Structure 1
Amino acid sequence: MDDIPRVSEVLYVGLCHEIGTPTEVTVRRDVEDMKEMIKKPVEIYRGDRSMLSGSYGEGFRFKSSDMDIMYWHCHHKLISDISQARLYDRTKHDIILMEDSDTPPGFVKLQILTWPRKECIASSAVRVNDKVYMSSFLHQQRAVKVYKESKSYQRVTSHGPSANSYIGSTEYDHVLCIAGTHWPELTLPWIERCFRYTWPPEPVLEEILKNGYHCVPVGSKIDSSGIILEWRLSFSQAEQKLVSSMNHTQFLVYGLLKIFLKEILNHGVEEPLLCSYFLKTTVFWMIQEGSVEWRPNNLLNCFWKCFRYLIHCVNLGAFPNFFIPQNNMFINKVVGAARTALLERLDHYYDMGVSCLLQNPTLRSILEPALSSLTFVIPSAEGHIKAVLDLDSTVRREIMSYRFLTTDLLRCHFILLSTIDKLSRLSLSPYQTLTLQYCTAEILICTAFMMVNSTSNNTCKNVYRLDRIVCNMLKLASRVGPVSHLLYLALYYYRTGRYNEVLCVTYLTKQRLSQPYIMYHGDYVDRQRYSEAVGSLSLSRKMNTAWVENVTLMSEIHYIDELILEQEVSKQNDDGILIISPFVLTDMLLVLSHYRLGNRSQYLQSLTDLQTLLLNDVCRYVQSHLRGLSWQILGICQHVVGDLHGALHSYQESLRQEQFHNIKTATEKRIVFVER
């Protein structure tokens, strides 16, 4: 590959489409930042904080990436010097002293100075001579136990500091950690180094220092006798900020290294020695060192210098942690015969040069056109451009992937509304504004139904006033949210017996859902019609005109009588929500409302429409994981109108589908009702 600049530009553009353009990465980060701003006051009120870490939190969207989530309690106060204890009220806070005098660099022990009131700390306490310490082992095992007891998670195992589990095919790593804002003395050289090399920029560094760090429950494994007490210093929050401060070439090189590691270097290796954290650290060192020119037409050279640094570290058997260089992350890991085998593998790819990237099918498809034709050139500017629909799809997917915790919506909806009111007055990016708008609609819907469920004063005046408030809130939610949010108003009308109003809202929704420019999920949208209909509109108007999402029913809230059984079973199985395709719910409400009004021909037609949808759809209108509940809903409608044979068939079909909602018990009960 002699023509490095030209091929680098081609690879830059290809990686923009595989990993993300600058705009797409900005969308991901802006949306995550807004979600963080919305949930933070609620978490502080609740006393428990969380953050999304790992690749997803950094802005990558690899299909194989798991979800890494860190949790910590606000009332734990971690200090690095005994004099800092005076800053906190011992009657309100658990004071924990971090000790690093007799632990390997990057690892600490946590001494409990005040006997903890919280069970999560007390259950991890062990006495050593005349002191009490937190056991990292016991703390980590507690997290594993919590997730094993939850019916929502499957295949829960212990994995390093985390409790590893699955929900469906999605892998989760949950880490219960201790947060600190008093930076340990070991990190002072890193802070000085950042100022000296001017990376990260000073504002980023100040934010990093303000946000602090964590201790995660895993030992060094250097001395097996002490690992039960050792905790590893984690700088995940700082690393996220560092990744966010990268320019796009740096971000793509980091992504390219991750692809190279997973799909080339570690491909077919049962127990790989290298992990993506080493690659991230490599990029950090290379950026701060300042010897690499991070430009699109120099991307291959950037990759190669990072690769050479990695080989150099394996050769030495030493890989310095970016924050605490004394911490050799290869110790007791990249050693002996395994290190020799790894070095041989690395040397093999080094001898191939950057053509080693051709071992990966995706990278080969990007590079081969440039290698086979000396005149093949893609202007790097194209890497910044995607079709309007593709970018809108990214925005929609990022925003609508967020789910508030059910407990937060139920108990803290007024805090959330207050937070949204304050945030709406700030200067926000377009993507942050849209995220805030979507979350506003979600919270309004929850608050409206909560008000209905919690009312105890049933005088005519109060009922009328409450009804007017609820209707206004649901109408406002439908005006600022996606198209499918209209169905919550229809649900409320159905619950209150206004079947003609249900039909009016539902037919309007059905008409809007039938438009060819509707964006629901996947690639099922007429690209030309979408561009013509909403391409020139603002993001807010696009969401309200063309974007659709599933309808979510929380198990603690009563929506309609016909789904109470499913909600109760879902709640018993710790699921908390029912997720329904809006196309299914639309037909369900039409069937039930026409039936209540005695419109026989209309409810039979709507019933036929629903059955036809489920028989003929190939996951365009009903995603595969929602088909079980969808067949159940068809059975409920058939049962209500008196078609017991059809209902039995639909319930049986529901049992044959993927049991995403874990409502098998409800289905079996309905079968018993039909067969009586």
Structure 2
Amino acid sequence: MSDNCYLSEALYVGLCDYIGTPTEVTARREVMDMKEEIMEPLEKHICCRKMETGSHREGFRFQSSDVDTMLWYTNYEVITNLKRKKRKSHKAQSSDSDPSKHSRILMEDTDTPGFVRLRHLKSPRKEDYDLEPYVVSFNGRDYISNVKWRQIILTLMVKNNSFNHAKIHGPCANGFIGDIEHDYAACFHCSYWSRFPSDLKKIPNFKGVFDDISRNGCHIVPVGSKRAGVENELEWRLSFSQAEQKLVYSMNHTQFLCYGLLKIFLKEVVNRDKEEPFLCSYFLKTTMFWMMKKIGYTDWYPRNLLNCFMACLAFLIDKVGRGILPNFFIRKNNMFAAKLTTAKGKCARECLFQELKRYHNMGLTCLLQSSTLKKLICNNLSGIYPIIYKKDHIIDKSAADTDICLKEEIYRLSLGENVRENYFILRFTILLNEPLTEYKTLTLQKCTADVLVHTAFLYLNTSTVSTNKKVYRSDRLIGNLLKLAGRVGDASCLLYLALYYYRTCRYREALHVTALVKSRLTQPYIMFSAVDRERYNESVGGWSLSKRMQKAWADLVCLKKDIYYIQELDLEQKLSKENSQPALLISPYVVTDMLSVLCNYRLGNRHQCLQSMTDLQTLMLKDVHLRTIDISWQILGICQHVVGDLNGAFQSYQKSLRQEPFNKIQNASKYRIAFTLNQLFRN
């Protein structure tokens, strides 16, 4: 085996650990696909569709990756001509659309390839008048302004206290939730696009993909060309994000890792220390598409990874040298054109051309300029990766490693915010009548459990029933929803039923549920913030994914900001909400011991109450979820306060105040400290 082949294999395995194995990438994509399927009925009902795009949607999980989302209103229909031709292939055109349901917008070509104008075709519809604030006149006709339209999302983002540092960035409104950067683009959707280059349909590995792409059409995003140095307000850029996603999905794993390798090389080598780099990540995606067309599908295999990378680098050098990079879907659109409108841009292109040639002349040693790639190669040659490579394919990671990845993907999903949204999600779940993959089934199962819990407490908080018969029916409904959630959810999901029993003064029932949850959480194979991989693999490796989640997975208890759960934590929820925190997140172990303390205290079981208090104090010293330790100390203080240990409560509140403010409950801690001191002085 040549040195190149050996190094390719080493890097392939390293990238599988850093970027993801085929199984992990598939799981990430299918979880996101399932979320979109779940939300589609609701989005159609409210006439606003969402689609996640970009590297996160494609399956990458780089630490610096932002989350890109496109949204569009379905009551605005973009058409490509005004002629009424009744053809099945043009279902979405004006001939088959219902003018009473859709306001029409005509897409007009411009002199700039890849950019169009959106002409507003007025009718007596109310929605047409809603567009008036975003329309400008040009040559006696009304066109939608890209500048005005993208202000919609920025305004919404500024009003939403969850986002920090909101601003306009290209066609998007950009903001941060915590450390994660989010880009939202309000766009329009053209549901049919027939202008894809015909030669692409003949490529074997693209077979079938382009027919699907044509049926899904394209999007139009609010940003104009800058060929004259100033953005054209009437121009909108054509976006083929759906098509690009499908092409990335069609990549084999070597192609996907080569794409990731280019991304790492760009960030850590080519664009290092550059304030305004010439190359961007989207240019690399376009490069990959062109190289997938140029290099035969069978040549993309692990031992040839580095040869493929060098071929991509050579392609980039050629295009940068010429100053021309054609868009993969619109060949006349030179994607470098906007960069070359200024003397600064032309100078940057020439410098980049010389730099890329230098890296290419270095050969494979250019990869060592990247700290990440250097580490991946060296670590793999040392044999420390938990992945086995054999005969050009990966023998995947252990069940524990794969499940950790899957659990992270599923547990970061958020769905309905009110009863109406939850209704559509549950309706989709009930009426779903199609086979699902294992990952999609698990995603649906977890989402169903979350929605059942959310719906139960929303109904409890909004219910105004007064008669005994209605109260009984309401209680039975809420209890059944929470029990069903406990059956389909993870090992900690039943804690919501215990919270409900405690709130309704059924302390013995709450203790029974709490004891059941505690027995599950103390199993040696449980997967929460950490997991004993060896025991996990031995104990649950042969179980189905569904059973693994129900018996071996645990999650933080999530108390959403607008829902009342129990009196003892109401203050923390309210003051956390004032600090723009969407929910209180608490370790299930802490909630279990908290309910044991409170229930036993209410029942007068002094010995059991003190034992549970000891368990909670011991837990604080050795086994608390570190990110949520602020609320954990706060809960210990609350329990001590309830049972009369004011000195202990005072110390616990102080410790809560000294922790990293993950749940943003500092004001609640200060209030409880003041209240406790007042009681101590009076005593």
With normalisation by structure 2, the TM-score equals 0.91
Relative to structure 1, the CA distance from residue 120 to residue 363 in structure 2 (aligned partners, 3 Å threshold; closer, same or farther) is farther
CA distance in 1, matches of 2:661, 2:79: 47
Work out which of the residue numbers 324, 343, 347 in structure 2 matches 1:337.
347
Structure 2 partner of 1:641: 643
Letter in structure 2 aligned against 1:353: G
The answer to whether 1:117 aligns with 2:127 is yes
Relative to structure 1, the CA distance from residue 120 to residue 670 in structure 2 (aligned partners, 3 Å threshold; closer, same or farther) is farther
1:91 offset after TM fit, Å? Answer: 3.8
Q: For 1:195-248, what per-residue CA distance to the aligned partner results, in whole angstroms no more than 9, with x for missing partners? A: 23345222x222222222111111111135662222111111111111001111
The answer to whether 1:609 aligns with 2:626 is no
Whether the 8 Å contact between 2:498 and 2:509 is mirrored in structure 1 is yes
Relative to structure 1, the CA distance from residue 387 to residue 319 in structure 2 (aligned partners, 3 Å threshold; closer, same or farther) is same
SS at match of 1:88: coil
The answer to whether 1:623 aligns with 2:643 is no
Whether the 8 Å contact between 1:406 and 1:576 is mirrored in structure 2 is no
Identify the range of structure 1 (542-551 vs 113-122) with the bigger mean alpha-carbon deviation.
113-122
Work out which of the residue numbers 410, 417, 425 in structure 2 matches 1:406.
417
Structure 1 partner of 2:103: 94
Whether the 8 Å contact between 1:11 and 1:367 is mirrored in structure 2 is yes
Q: For 1:319-375, what per-residue CA distance to the aligned partner results, in whole angstroms no more than 9, with x for missing partners? A: 1111111111111315421111111210110110122112223322443588899xx
CA distance in 1, matches of 2:579, 2:189: 32
Q: For 1:594-627, what per-residue CA distance to the aligned partner results, in whole angstroms no more than 9, with x for missing partners? A: 121122333233334334433x24xx63232x22
Structure 1 partner of 2:181: 171
1:89 offset after TM fit, Å? Answer: 3.4
Whether the 8 Å contact between 1:78 and 1:178 is mirrored in structure 2 is yes
Map of 1:107-146 to 2, 5 A cutoff? 107-114=115-122, 117=127, 121-146=131-156
Relative to structure 1, the CA distance from residue 137 to residue 657 in structure 2 (aligned partners, 3 Å threshold; closer, same or farther) is farther
Structure 2 partner of 1:260: 265
Structure 2 partner of 1:279: 284
Relative to structure 1, the CA distance from residue 636 to residue 210 in structure 2 (aligned partners, 3 Å threshold; closer, same or farther) is farther
Work out which of the residue numbers 560, 571, 578 in structure 1 matches 2:566.
560
Relative to structure 1, the CA distance from residue 44 to residue 360 in structure 2 (aligned partners, 3 Å threshold; closer, same or farther) is same
CA distance in 2, matches of 1:358, 1:404: 43
Relative to structure 1, the CA distance from residue 130 to residue 623 in structure 2 (aligned partners, 3 Å threshold; closer, same or farther) is farther
The answer to whether 1:449 aligns with 2:436 is no
The answer to whether 1:394 aligns with 2:405 is yes
CA distance in 2, matches of 1:96, 1:570: 44
The answer to whether 1:222 aligns with 2:227 is yes
Q: For 1:506-559, what per-residue CA distance to the aligned partner results, in whole angstroms no more than 9, with x for missing partners? A: 1221222122211112xx222222122211111111111110111112233322
Whether the 8 Å contact between 1:22 and 1:384 is mirrored in structure 2 is no
Relative to structure 1, the CA distance from residue 123 to residue 594 in structure 2 (aligned partners, 3 Å threshold; closer, same or farther) is farther
Relative to structure 1, the CA distance from residue 655 to residue 99 in structure 2 (aligned partners, 3 Å threshold; closer, same or farther) is farther
Relative to structure 1, the CA distance from residue 126 to residue 647 in structure 2 (aligned partners, 3 Å threshold; closer, same or farther) is farther
Letter in structure 2 aligned against 1:97: L
Relative to structure 1, the CA distance from residue 108 to residue 382 in structure 2 (aligned partners, 3 Å threshold; closer, same or farther) is closer
Letter in structure 2 aligned against 1:430: E
Whether the 8 Å contact between 2:31 and 2:440 is mirrored in structure 1 is yes
Map of 1:43-62 to 2, 5 A cutoff? 43-62=43-62
Identify the range of structure 1 (154-163 vs 106-115) with the bigger mean alpha-carbon deviation.
106-115
Relative to structure 1, the CA distance from residue 370 to residue 436 in structure 2 (aligned partners, 3 Å threshold; closer, same or farther) is closer
Structure 2 partner of 1:15: 15
Whether the 8 Å contact between 1:591 and 1:637 is mirrored in structure 2 is yes
Structure 2 partner of 1:466: 474
Relative to structure 1, the CA distance from residue 199 to residue 230 in structure 2 (aligned partners, 3 Å threshold; closer, same or farther) is farther
Percent of residue pairs identical: 49
1:71 offset after TM fit, Å? Answer: 1.4
Relative to structure 1, the CA distance from residue 370 to residue 165 in structure 2 (aligned partners, 3 Å threshold; closer, same or farther) is closer
CA distance in 2, matches of 1:349, 1:162: 34
Return 5+ residue gaps in structure 1 as ranges: none
Relative to structure 1, the CA distance from residue 100 to residue 528 in structure 2 (aligned partners, 3 Å threshold; closer, same or farther) is same
CA distance in 2, matches of 1:655, 1:124: 48
SS at match of 2:206: coil
Q: For 1:64-110, what per-residue CA distance to the aligned partner results, in whole angstroms no more than 9, with x for missing partners? A: 211111111111111121234454333432321112234x1111121
Identify the range of structure 1 (292-301 vs 323-332) with the bigger mean alpha-carbon deviation.
292-301
SS at match of 1:383: strand
Structure 2 partner of 1:251: 256
Identify the range of structure 1 (490-499 vs 561-570) with the bigger mean alpha-carbon deviation.
561-570
CA distance in 1, matches of 2:611, 2:336: 68
1:255 offset after TM fit, Å? Answer: 0.9
CA distance in 2, matches of 1:326, 1:81: 21
Whether the 8 Å contact between 2:303 and 2:392 is mirrored in structure 1 is no
Relative to structure 1, the CA distance from residue 356 to residue 111 in structure 2 (aligned partners, 3 Å threshold; closer, same or farther) is same
CA distance in 1, matches of 2:135, 2:647: 61
Structure 1 partner of 2:655: 653
Letter in structure 1 aligned against 2:235: E
Work out which of the residue numbers 200, 210, 218 in structure 1 matches 2:215.
210
CA distance in 1, matches of 2:557, 2:381: 49
The answer to whether 1:194 aligns with 2:200 is yes
Letter in structure 1 aligned against 2:415: F
CA distance in 2, matches of 1:449, 1:552: 12
Q: What is the RMSD computed on CA atoms of the aligned residues?
A: 2.5
Relative to structure 1, the CA distance from residue 226 to residue 20 in structure 2 (aligned partners, 3 Å threshold; closer, same or farther) is closer
1:136 offset after TM fit, Å? Answer: 1.0
SS at match of 2:526: coil
CA distance in 1, matches of 2:372, 2:391: 19
Structure 1 partner of 2:41: 41
Q: For 1:548-594, what per-residue CA distance to the aligned partner results, in whole angstroms no more than 9, with x for missing partners? A: 11111223332212222333344455544222211121122112111
1:654 offset after TM fit, Å? Answer: 3.1
Structure 2 partner of 1:358: 368
Whether the 8 Å contact between 1:495 and 1:560 is mirrored in structure 2 is yes
Whether the 8 Å contact between 1:591 and 1:604 is mirrored in structure 2 is yes
CA distance in 2, matches of 1:670, 1:584: 19
SS at match of 1:110: strand
CA distance in 1, matches of 2:253, 2:324: 29
Q: For 1:290-328, what per-residue CA distance to the aligned partner results, in whole angstroms no more than 9, with x for missing partners? A: 456212221111111111100100000011111111111
SS at match of 1:287: helix
Relative to structure 1, the CA distance from residue 632 to residue 411 in structure 2 (aligned partners, 3 Å threshold; closer, same or farther) is farther
CA distance in 1, matches of 2:481, 2:25: 33
CA distance in 1, matches of 2:389, 2:501: 55
Letter in structure 1 aligned against 2:522: S
Relative to structure 1, the CA distance from residue 426 to residue 381 in structure 2 (aligned partners, 3 Å threshold; closer, same or farther) is same
Whether the 8 Å contact between 1:90 and 1:114 is mirrored in structure 2 is no
The answer to whether 1:507 aligns with 2:515 is yes
Work out which of the residue numbers 496, 520, 524 in structure 2 matches 1:488.
496
SS at match of 1:223: coil
